[in-house]
A and B are shown apart, each in its own frame.
Chain A
């Protein structure tokens, strides 16, 4: 067998280009799998550990107010393991330098003991002291975003009164792994505040002594949350219960779940492209080698090597691809996995999130790649094993060509003889074209997949947001002001237009279906804020009643003509019931719109304003901003351009990483397919190409014959791949939390162009690499041998 090993070793030298490219495709497959599945596993592991150790609740319920004594009845419900009640209130944090005030939640902490559910992970400082009304623990993401530390003070509007609070601790909570403020578009740690305060202090401030308005439970193992929730809902009907929600519907968990679902989804799909291509290339390269060595196989068998020995000899190639490919793949997976997980660290706030590949996962990746490479090789080797020696001694029967479709379509006239060489080859082996194109298409779609998220955000920012928000500046106030404020701002030199907006935080309800939302009052005939639907249609405000975001209407199960139960969570906290006069299919959030005079009528004030939108002379923006600083009660001023710019920049940096990774992985596949196809065509057709050279064709002309088949594969694959990318994008978008975002997957021309560029670039490079061999084509040797 030593001689046979020697043969293998020498032949590997000739196949090194092929081996390297196949190993790269395989490595990309392993790396992409380890990166995506590894990141998902790490997130899941961190989540499970966090939820378990910090007793994340299984069931959550908000209510109006219930006496503390009710806890005994909850404890008595079958399946309940632990229960914690608390007081939760809205808080507005008018922070300096913030375009809009941050709305947050103020939650109570039990005095002198750890909560039974949803424990805090204290990053810094300490918990508030008993009875201290001014001490709070702040959510870590919010504190970080504002650079707040223990010892800093924080202005807060609690129960309508501005009070300075003292930050004593910075903490995380399993309830707020993903911190999204109600109505916010994207996780914005700057705007999503959670504060924890001593329960007694909070109870005094809101007159909720010996009472609570939120409860969370942990269930006994095996208990059904459906039964417990039903019992809980019945129990809390008299106390304004808003319907118990299961852990899976808890906002932060729901978004984390959605992201994990997507990540797992692509972790399942993307590596398939690579493994499929690996199997295909293995089959093709080895198949060609075996057909070239037909005579040698016959000799080996004739001198007494068994079929199995011959088979094993050729399967040796698999090991040579598998070994470096796996090593490179594991290394790449580890590196890329860290890179990807780093992108998640600012979004999902776990106490611990570290990329660690589990041995099981690595083993799984190795097995899958072994199956792919081995499977492809086995298909090819089977032919060598089955070949009887006597038959192998004879040259293979010549390929059969027919005149058929191509001639009927009149292509032979059009393509000329050298074009026909290409077309007939394709006609004879359509499967090869199809599989090659499929592999390339998969790679193309990968580039689209890595980039489309940014396009969707861009489309929203530039297409929807910019069409909707026409102001240059938005001025918000620390408390609602009279309509005179708009007139005052209008009188600043350089201000061209000023329109007042009223935004009231609301709780919309239909029976036990409840959602927090915002009631927006817009001036009739206003021009600075337009209502734009996600398909681009502009809507106008109804004269009467309210316009409700379609998704909110679906969640609440309310219809046009119904009265909508709204609790205004500002001032007198009035309960109002406007009529729904229309739906609006917006791209983000859950809102309710009405004319500002209707909102004034509902809230019972005389048209107070929360903010004013300004159109200004761009040359005077600086001066206007300066003047606004002197206005009392101006909480903040935001420039639309700047805000959009910031938003884009933040996303761009994330998507740059994804785009780079996906482009690199895609390039590996394309190079693998194109290079190997070109090499094989070259060996299979060197005789034809040499004949053409003898007949007087130049190198360029024969390169064209060799490479146009590949060009055709790429050109067939390209539109197909772009379409596939588009479909993937839609599927990914549908997996995003629909209450927050309902953007259509958007793929820009630039992304299509980039995918096409990466594809053509990688294909061209590989083709040129092979073309070099054409220059070394030995015309005489080729022509003197019998085929």
Chain B
């Protein structure tokens, strides 16, 4: 069985399970899929069920926004999808790689080659300049963009040699995005990318994510609890109590620059 058909098969499996309308015409093959995903944390004497049987798939070129209240399981889901965490039960597949059963080294390679992360607090290395922060990734990736190219993509072509402390919050987040996309990942996972920014800067950052999604075609998942952001998505998935409560397809994606909050 070839990779493409495998993915396609899994996508139909997921679609059937979710019993929702098929994706819009421009949605591509499934990049990442998970089924019956559960995650239980043991907090002292109590078991906390962060995810409780989640089925979810992400398609090529798709931009998905995950919303939900605090504690609904969005971050846990994103961390498992990104290979930062492993589920207690259920399966996660990225192509032929079953993340839920992968070895440590396979997860490292997965993160190195296929996933880009953007976090709320940027997580740049303070001792490295913008260019060097991006080079951290391009040095170890297989077919990366040049750091300068990646930074130009996020509109920071003129801030190459600035250290994080010399950049504004929005600029730092854009460096983080450049760093995430420089490896030409299949997936871009963003956990509250605008959470620490004011609305004007936040919109700038969303524009960059939007642009990367559109121009590079990276499948993107954004976690937010800022409802208006959902308007830029192809699909909005709502989580509650560790389950997918609902999902809806947005007919026509709004432009980030038209948002306000």
Contact = CB atoms under 8 A, between A and B. Distances in A.
B59 interface: no
A425 interface: yes
A416 B84 contact: no
B112 A697 contact: yes
What's the interface size class on A, roughly?
35 or more
Contacts of A218: none
B117 interface: yes
A688 B136 CA distance: 12
Interface stretch (B126-134, B200-208, B250-258): B126-134
Interface string B116-158: 0101110111111100110111011100000000000000000
Contacts of B117: 694-695
9 contacts: A399-B127, A401-B165, A402-B163, A417-B125, A417-B139, A696-B111, A696-B141, A699-B104, A779-B84
B148 to A, nearest CB: 14
Contacts of B140: 695-697, 701
Contact of B75 (A401, A697, A784): A784
A399 B124 CA distance: 13
B179 interface: yes
What's the interface size class on B, roughly?
35 or more
B79 interface: yes
B113 interface: yes
Contacts of A687: 123
Contact of A416 (B105, B113, B135): B135
Contacts of B82: 694
A428 B163 CA distance: 14
B50 to A, nearest CB: 11
Given A403-B129, A417-B125, 10 more contacts: A400-B163, A418-B139, A421-B125, A425-B127, A687-B123, A691-B124, A696-B110, A698-B105, A699-B104, A699-B108
Nearest to B117: A694
A783 B126 contact: no
Contact of B127 (A401, A780, A784): A401
A551 B23 CA distance: 101
A400 B128 contact: no
A779 to B, nearest CB: 5
A338 to B, nearest CB: 51
A399 B164 CA distance: 10
A696 B165 contact: no
B108 A698 contact: yes
Contacts of A488: none
B109 interface: yes
B72 to A, nearest CB: 15
Nearest to B183: A696
Contacts of A784: 75, 119-121
B132 A412 contact: yes
Nearest to A428: B127
A699 to B, nearest CB: 8
Contacts of B133: 417
Contacts of B115: 696
Contacts of B85: 780
A398 B110 CA distance: 32
Interface string A406-443: 00000010001110110011001000000000000000
Contacts of A688: 125-127
Contacts of B137: 695-696
B79 A780 contact: yes
Interface string A696-719: 111101000000000000000000
A706 to B, nearest CB: 13
Contacts of B141: 696
A787 B121 contact: yes
Contacts of A418: 136, 139
Contacts of A783: 119, 121, 123
A420 B128 CA distance: 7
Nearest to B180: A695
A781 to B, nearest CB: 11
B198 interface: no
A416 B131 CA distance: 11
Residue from B104, B121, B196 having most chain A Cβ neighbours under 10 A = B121
A690 B82 CA distance: 14
Nearest to B163: A401
Interface string A769-787: 0000000000110011111
Contacts of B126: 398-399, 401, 688
A692 interface: yes
Contacts of A690: 123
Nearest to A399: B126
Contacts of B113: 696
Interface in A100-136: none
A453 to B, nearest CB: 46
Contacts of B123: 687, 690-691, 694, 783
Interface in A362-404: 398-403
A350 B139 CA distance: 71
A400 B126 CA distance: 8
B218 to A, nearest CB: 16
Contacts of A691: 123-125
A688 B126 CA distance: 8
A420 B132 CA distance: 8
A424 B79 contact: no
A421 B128 contact: yes
Contacts of B79: 780
Contacts of A779: 84
**A-B residue pairs, 4 tightest by C-beta:** A696-B112, A424-B127, A696-B111, A417-B132
Contact of B161 (A398, A403, A696): A403
Contacts of B139: 416-418
A725 B202 CA distance: 60
Residue from B105, B119, B125, B183 having most chain A Cβ neighbours under 10 A = B125
A399 to B, nearest CB: 6
Contacts of B75: 780, 784
Nearest to A698: B108
Contacts of B127: 399, 401, 420-421, 424-425, 428, 688
A699 B111 CA distance: 13
B108 A780 contact: no
Interface string B178-215: 01000100000000000010000000000000000000
Contacts of B84: 694, 779-780
Residue from B111, B120, B179 having most chain A Cβ neighbours under 10 A = B111
Contacts of A398: 126, 164-165
Contacts of A699: 104, 108
Interface string A532-547: 0000000000000000
Contacts of A399: 126-127, 165
Contacts of B112: 695-697
Contacts of A425: 127
Nearest to A787: B121
Given A417-B133, A696-B112, A696-B113, A400 B161 contact: no
Contacts of B111: 693-696
Interface in A658-677: none
Nearest to A402: B163
B108 A697 contact: yes
B136 to A, nearest CB: 4
Contacts of A695: 111-112, 117, 136-137, 140, 179
A417 B136 contact: yes
A785 B196 CA distance: 12
A401 B104 CA distance: 33
Contacts of B129: 403
B108 A696 contact: yes
A418 B129 CA distance: 12
A608 to B, nearest CB: 83
A418 to B, nearest CB: 7
A692 B136 contact: yes
Contacts of B119: 783-784
Contact of B128 (A417, A780, A786): A417
B142 to A, nearest CB: 11
A428 B104 CA distance: 34
